[in-house]
A = this chain, B = another copy of it.
Amino acid sequence: MKASQFFIATLKEAPADAEVISHKLMMRAGMIKRLGAGIYNYMPMGLRVIRKVEGIIREEMNRAGAVELLMPVVQPAELWQETGRFDKMGPEMMRVKDRHDRDFIIQPTSEEVVTDIARQELRSYKQLPKNFYHIQTKFRDERRPRFGIMRGREFTMKDAYSFDRSPEAAARSYETMFAAYKRIFDRFGLTYRAVAADTGAIGGDLSHEFQVIAQTGEDAIIYCPTSDYAANIELAEAVAPAAPRAEPSAAMVKTLTPGKSTCADVAAFLGLPLTKSLKSLVLATDTRNEQGDIVGSTVWLLLLRGDHEMNEVKVGKIEGLKNGFRFATLAEIDEHFGCKPGYLGPVGLKKPVKIIADRSVAAMSDFCCGANEEDYHLTGVNWGRDLPEPDLVADLRNVVEGDPSPDGRGVLAIERGIEVGHVFYLGTKYSKAMNATFLDETGKPALMEMGCYGIGVTRILGAAIEQGHDARGIIWPDAIAPFTVAICPIGYDRSADVKAAADALHEELQAAGIDAILDDRGERPGAMFADWELIGVPHRVVLSDRGLKEGQVEYQGRRDEAATKVAAAEVVAFVKGRLKA
């Protein structure tokens, strides 16, 4: 490709509304162009990256035995009504009516349509397993689209769906996809982690997120540097402290703590470590009758160590809290504790509540908690002596750096990631709702076991840039760079030698299957180099009259500190040697 036949539109400054570095750099490199909130034109430079990402995904999906098809963007509402998602999905699902006033949706995902295909096409166990995928435009009407294409409204997603005859077979399909995803992300050349994720109501352990590691990532990734353990923060287990609870060594004392209503303030005021203070969270659950009216409420006291945070997903799995919970009202708190928040605790309740303690809390002794009296806390509190053992001990909190790894093989570390892929075992959630059955070996209809597997194609671009950039611009991995090599001739329009050498190199690289762009725009060297560094092309070859007279060209990798002189005759071989396999 010659630059003059392509479209290069770099900017000195990013637009003011670009918040994150990937958004800024994509705008400055002319890869995307905003059309509306969360809606972008993919400009030629950006589209090349998308096509390379899609190409790798397609090859590996096909290699894994998945079959590509294409499901429509505009989908009839009927199928979404079958699963109940037409009503359940919030306003992020865009709804539209056709000229006959019939309901349609702009697809945010395609479980319904693919299950409809499967129930018609896959009629016998002999046709299973089957995995259908497509790479298609999706639309999710985010309330606050942001971060450029990282959380846009229109985006491209690869979504695959597997159909199996049994949970065991579905687990094999899952493993096949998991392995394919690892190959895909390996080939992208990105640093990533496959982390275990929560499976929600489905249960089991077949859910993994593929996270591209980046300091700016929205997600906390928990991993053990000395083992394979990796999970997202929702799932990562906080194991019980290894040491048994210490014996009481202090008496329970009520202490004045005027205006100190947070654990941190109280601990500082009293000169106690934060790990000795107790955080009291009051939740409530409602009982409803068949009409949906609230007919009763239960109040729960959740206890966490002062330095820990509640994990909503874990709390949502507690028996009694599974069907939804809320924070208690001030009236409910006053009814049970006789005190306002900030000074609550499990000792001396006005009216009994269910007490659930985090595993760390159950191991605490001589701790400090609210006295259920304004401006007062208790110190030297001990389970069994000053109050009964908790009704339930459970894992209620987010893990923190340094917690023991659940696999017992080290301590946990935390890094930030950007979720770009997800593999998930669906069970019979959709096949049941849509009656997607096949005839098993005995000729009886059975529900298909499903899995779904997504990759945010356009999101990969943002994630790759968050991971790979420097002050000069983007640093693409070889496999997904818009161009692999930039040929930068100095004086292409003035020197016949430079022109001939640059043209020849361009042809040789192309013939070797290396995606090179020849910058024939006649820009000054500084501007030319700045463009390709901003765009992030990983390899650059500079040709000049002076160098060619000495039989040399200059090679510089995008991450290299300085250029390397290479014999002109050997530059193709040299570049090949620098490419990632």
Q: Tell me which residues across on chain B come within 8 A of A42, comparing CB atoms.
A: 69-71
CA distance in complex: A386, B92 (Å): 74
Q: Is A9 an interface residue (CB 8 A)?
A: yes
Q: Whose C-beta in chain B lies nearest to the C-beta of A51? A: B68
**Among B44, B67, B113, B130, which residue has its beta carbon within 8 angstroms of that of A41?**
B113
Q: Given A73-B73, A74-B153, A106-B74: A99 and B141 within 8 A (CB)?
A: yes
CA distance in complex: A9, B137 (Å): 26
CB–CB B6/A154 < 8 A: no
Q: Tell me which residues across on chain B come within 8 A of A71, comparing CB atoms.
A: 35, 41-42
**Among B9, B70, B154, which residue has its beta carbon within 8 angstroms of that of A72?**
B154
Q: Tell me which residues across on chain B come within 8 A of A355, comparing CB atoms.
A: none
CA distance in complex: A411, B96 (Å): 51
Q: Is A91 an interface residue (CB 8 A)?
A: yes
Q: Is A394 an interface residue (CB 8 A)?
A: no
Count of interface residues, chain A, beta-carbon cutoff 8 Å = 48
Q: Is A444 an interface residue (CB 8 A)?
A: no
CA distance in complex: A43, B98 (Å): 24
> What are the interface flags for A13-46 relative to B under an 8 Å C-beta threshold, 1 for contact and 0 otherwise?
0000000000000000000010110011111100
Binding site for B on A (CB under 8 A): 5-7, 9, 33, 35-36, 39-44, 47, 50, 65, 67-76, 91-92, 94-96, 98-99, 104, 106, 113, 116-117, 120-121, 130, 132, 137, 139, 141, 143, 153-154
| 5 pairs of A and B residues whose beta carbons are closest in the complex | A42-B70, A36-B76, A91-B99, A96-B96, A7-B67
Q: 27 interchain pairs (CB within 8 A)?
A: A5-B65, A7-B67, A9-B121, A33-B121, A35-B75, A36-B75, A39-B74, A39-B76, A41-B70, A41-B117, A42-B69, A42-B70, A47-B68, A47-B69, A47-B70, A72-B137, A73-B137, A74-B94, A74-B106, A74-B139, A74-B154, A91-B99, A92-B99, A94-B96, A96-B96, A98-B141, A106-B106
